[in-house]
Amino acid sequence: MTDSRIPADLPDHIQHYIDGSFVDSVDGDTFDVLDPVTNQTYTTAAAGKKADIDLAVAAAKRAFDEGPWPRMLPRERSRVLHRIADIVESRDARLAELESYDSGLPITQALGQARRAAENFRFFADLIVAQADDAFKVPGKQMNYVNRKPIGVAGLITPWNTPFMLESWKLGPALATGNTVVLKPAEFTPLSASLWAGIFEEAGLPQGVFNLVNGLGEDAGDALVKHPDVPLISFTGESRTGQIIFGNAAPFLKGLSMELGGKSPAVVFADADLEAAVDATIFGVFSLNGERCTAGSRIIVERSIYDEFVERYAAQAKRVKVGYPHDPATEVGALVHPEHYDKVMSYVEIGKSEGRLVAGGGRPEGFEEGNFVAPTVFADVSPDARIFQEEIFGPVVAITPFDSDEEALALANNTKYGLAAYIWTNDLKRAHTFAQSVEAGMVWLNSNNVRDLRTPFGGVKASGLGHEGGYRSIDFYTDQQSVHITLASTPHNPTFGKN
């Protein structure tokens, strides 16, 4: 292994960013950050606790109550967000290099995520200027309009998969609408998040508007959720953690937006374009190392094409290139952390007794250390199998046959999750009927996961609470106040106690 894969100028230590300054934890505590290729510590990060969250929230609240950001015209905030997007775009190669090294994500996919992060800011910069709110008039009697206002300090808790992009997905609308923020990034991947402070300073974001506290979820994340001066929590992560956040936020009646786990079905009918379906379902579960919430990790295939599909799918899965994250030819890199690697490998072992292993099943040849898993395919998986029901979050897929449209729908809906679904058929009527019946927040027909930023993003059942994306994000990060004005010369007032 050569040093060429290690980015230049890696920090020796990653700090919090509170009220415009980089600071260590109040108690001086730190945690180790690992390189997923070797699982060796390459830096340390400040480990935030309640005292650090208190300082960050106080700074954010002061910036909201006294600072200029919430009071700026939308166009003024938009200019800052466009500058942020310009800076992110100009540094996409560096961002991708750090993201790939820290998370194990293949460098070409990390580059795409960096560019998507810039687009998220650009999108909300434009949307906040174009935002129009409802007005209702009763001629000669009353005028009613909606006054939209930022809410306050938004608590943003983000995951370790594609961290920089997913941070932008929350930061963009939270800032565009005039809120101030405290970001708690995932402890596995704090490196790229540490770049936000410099980007925001250069773009002209006022002091205190953006604050960042690193730390464990049970320490920093828990304190942020329970803080009485944080009225909003946006969380992306595991469903179990979402349940804990839901309970901890309940006494404060906080606004919650939670995008949680998934076990999304990809349903392939006999009349589908088989080559396109194989290509898309390979990409849908093995891209981003399989560490994606919308992965189509259950493939449900009509029996008349089932054997051919499994044969072609397994052969192509074996050709997926596993490699070092910094190599542009790599399609699957290293999983993020040894804890997660152990979890994924435990499911691979479970799968060997629950299905027929047709590809992968262990470490790829030539990778004796680090968190590398060969793309793994199980066929003939029973619907009650754990690898069919539980989120693995790695390059592992289960394939199951069906005989009728009704059975396909039952299989698709047969999990506690409901984030995404992918349907492959050339029957237009079937496609739309199935899409309306499947229990999923998002459906792709004859398509991979290509999403318009104007559309709502979110899931049903155990996959989430609420939606973000487009105007739904604007709704979440603002209060909508109804204002009613009497126009009539004599107001219509019921009179009590006049005589």
- What are the residue numbers of the active site? 259
Rounded to an integer, what distance in angstroms lies between the CA atom of residue 197 and that of residue 200?
5
Cα–Cα distances (Å) from 264 to 30, 85, 343, 418, 459, in that order, read: 37, 31, 19, 7, 10
Rounded to an integer, what distance in angstroms lies between the CA atom of residue 163 and that of residue 187?
11
List the one residue out of 218, 219, 201, 202 whose CA is nearest residue 210.
Answer: 201
Stated as kind and residue range, the H or E segment containing 465 is strand 464-465
Apex 242 CA angle, 240 and 248, nearest 5: 110
List the one residue out of 461, 466, 467 whose CA is nearest residue 418.
Answer: 461
Eight-state DSSP code of residue 364: P
Place of tokens 């046959």: 401
Tokens of 321: 């290139």
Rounded to an integer, what distance in angstroms lies between the CA atom of residue 121 and that of residue 92?
14
Rounded to an integer, what distance in angstroms lies between the CA atom of residue 424 and that of residue 200?
43
* Helix/strand number for the chain, H first, E second: 15, 21
Within its chain, how far is the Cα of 110 from the centroid? 14
Rounded to an integer, what distance in angstroms lies between the CA atom of residue 432 and that of residue 429?
6
List the one residue out of 344, 330, 236, 349 whose CA is nearest residue 297.
Answer: 344
Phi, psi of 106 (to 5 degrees): -55, 140
Instruction: Report strand pairing: 376-379 vs 232-236.
Output: unpaired
Helices (H), 233-382: 239-249, 274-286, 303-319, 338-351
- Angle, helices 74-90/92-103, rounded to nearest 10 degrees: 70
Stated as kind and residue range, the H or E segment containing 135 is strand 135-138
Place of tokens 């299989």: 411
List the strands of the sheet with 13-14, edge to edge: 13-14, 40-46, 30-35
Rounded to an integer, what distance in angstroms lies between the CA atom of residue 106 and that of residue 288?
7
Stated as kind and residue range, the H or E segment containing 63 is helix 50-66
